[in-house]
Amino acid sequence: MRGTNVWIFIMYGLLFDMVNNLWRPFAVVFLERLGGTEFHIAMLSSLPGLVAAIVLLPGAILFRKFTNQKRATASFILISRAILLCIAFVPALPPGMRPLLFVVLVAIMNCPDALSQTSLQNFLGTVFSGQMRGQAIALRTKFGQAIVPVITISAGLAITFIPNTEEQRMFLYQIFFIGAFLLGIVEVIIFNRLQVPEYLRSQEESNRDAKPNGMAVIKQIFRDKKFRRFVIPTICFAFTWQAGWPLNSIYQVMTLEATEMWFAIFALTAGFAGLLSGSFWQKLLYRHGNNIVFIVSASLITLNMFIFPFIPNVQIMAIFSAFTGLSAIGMNMALLNGLLNAAPDENRMTYLAFFNTIMNLSLFAAPFLAHFMLSLFGLRSAMFIVGFLRIGGMGVILVSYKLNKKAA
């Protein structure tokens, strides 16, 4: 069953990547074509985090009452994909309301997204355990890095070369959003094939009524030293990581004037580098543990911010995207595996929701800080400031690592 679940999880992951990479890599360019400004770009990074932060903890408490959590997770995935269908009609609306409505719909979509992904993380902790969990995550990431560039480059080529007018380009975007919705339906079907071992299902059902209430679990989270040792350095660095996202997007779109085709090429080189480096991160995780993967990937991400402002054109940016892809794949692997290791099996869903709530509050605040620095100091100076903030976040990670090593 574990082997079967691994391959079903990989297939689900591939469909998840296909759905998101039909439109997310081009979201900033699409927003600009709708008439979006730098403020709209910052809001596109920020508002989804606020929505997720509001709904995650209440949602996790609600999930505890569901008798079939897998079915509830599938329902939230389907709701998220239905919002993509709504976004497909945004270009048909009056020009003045398009940019803000697109940002708001993406933010609303993050409500079912956040709940379904948190529930999925909890589900992975139930279906896979120990070393099998790390292997499943690594394989899903590795195969995802292979399919993402194919989807993104195909979409970029289509948007660049098929339309002859701006109206035709918007129509093609609408087709992509509808296609993402249809793929989302298949995604839900595949997800429903994941199986919980019978003995674990029976154990969960027998323990359901004995679980403490939501507030009692939250108090328990604050007292959990192991979980705190993971959360505090992770959030400190994640805030500085997220602050750079809108600045990087603005630099690519406004300064380098990257089109959809170039964003597809960026994704292609990043995905190719992620595919090649997947085995490296997996071996590093297996031999030296999750903390080392976290430290190494965070160091590379910190270095990124000092190189980015010196990139003179989209051609060099395409080459550099390989470096960003390599560092991002390590960080994503470290975050997911580290979170599942830090959260106890009992009440895992609430622990994950608590962590994701803090991460999304950070995601909400970080772009506003970036936009504030942008308005005060200009784009390049703001990027350097974020780079130095990342060095501070790295310092917190290293101090925490040494303290944890001594405590062990």
Q: Tens digits of per-residue pLDDT, 289-335?
A: 888 888 899 999 999 999 999 999 999 999 999 888 889 888 888 88
pLDDT in tens, 357-408: 898 889 888 988 998 999 999 999 999 999 999 999 999 888 887 877 766 5
Question: Would you say residue 280 has pLDDT above 60?
Answer: yes
Q: Is the pTM of this model over 0.85?
A: no
| Cα–Cα distance, 174 to 176 (Å, whole number) | 5
* Residue 301 Cα distances to 9, 154, 305, 325, 390, angstroms: 28, 27, 7, 10, 8
pLDDT band at 5 (very low <50, low <70, confident <90, very high): confident
105: nearest Cα among 152, 44, 192: 44
Position 187: which residue type? Answer: E
Asked whether the beta carbons of 220 and 113 are under 8 A apart, the reply is: no
pLDDT value, residue 35: 92
Report the half-sphere exposure of 159 (CA within 13 A, side-chain side).
27
pLDDT band at 211 (very low <50, low <70, confident <90, very high): low
pLDDT band at 274 (very low <50, low <70, confident <90, very high): confident
Question: Would you say residue 84 has pLDDT above 90?
Answer: yes
pLDDT value, residue 197: 64
Q: How would you class 256 by CB atoms within 10 Å of its CB: exposed for 0-12, middle for 13-18, buried for 19 or more?
A: middle
The residue with greater pLDDT, 282 or 211, is 282
235: nearest Cα among 298, 188, 166, 304: 298
Enclosing domain of residue 68: 2-407
Average confidence (pLDDT) over 339-344: 85
272: nearest Cα among 329, 228, 225: 329
At 392, which CATH number?
A: 1.20.1250.20
**The two structure tokens encoding residue 295:** 């430290």
pLDDT value, residue 150: 84
CA angle 89, 246, 399 (to 5 degrees): 135
Question: Would you say residue 201 has pLDDT above 60?
Answer: no
| Cα–Cα distance, 347 to 191 (Å, whole number) | 22
Question: Would you say residue 199 has pLDDT above 60?
Answer: no
Average confidence (pLDDT) over 41-54: 87
pLDDT value, residue 204: 52
Question: Would you say residue 172 has pLDDT above 90?
Answer: yes
pLDDT value, residue 2: 54
How many structural domains is the chain composed of? 1
Please provide the DSSP assignment of 304-320 as one string: HHHHGGG--SHHHHHHH
Q: Say which range, 57-66, 219-228, 280-289, has the weakest mean pLDDT.
A: 57-66
Asked whether the beta carbons of 385 and 282 are under 8 A apart, the reply is: no
Question: Would you say residue 209 has pLDDT above 50?
Answer: no
Average confidence (pLDDT) over 29-37: 91
pLDDT value, residue 300: 92
pLDDT value, residue 182: 96
pLDDT band at 186 (very low <50, low <70, confident <90, very high): very high
Residue with tokens 């992951």: 13
pLDDT value, residue 210: 47
pLDDT value, residue 383: 94
pLDDT value, residue 213: 59
**The two structure tokens encoding residue 28:** 């900033």
Average confidence (pLDDT) over 240-264: 89
pLDDT band at 156 (very low <50, low <70, confident <90, very high): confident
CA angle 368, 374, 377 (to 5 degrees): 135
What φ, ψ does residue 22 adopt, rounded to 5°? -75, -20
Q: Say which range, 22-31, 86-95, 165-174, 218-227, has the weakest mean pLDDT.
A: 218-227
Average confidence (pLDDT) over 258-266: 87
Helix (H) or strand (E) holding 289: none
| Cα–Cα distance, 215 to 344 (Å, whole number) | 17
pLDDT in tens, 94-149: 988 999 999 999 999 999 998 888 888 777 777 776 667 777 877 887 788 778 77
pLDDT value, residue 195: 81
As a whole number, the mean pLDDT across the chain is 85
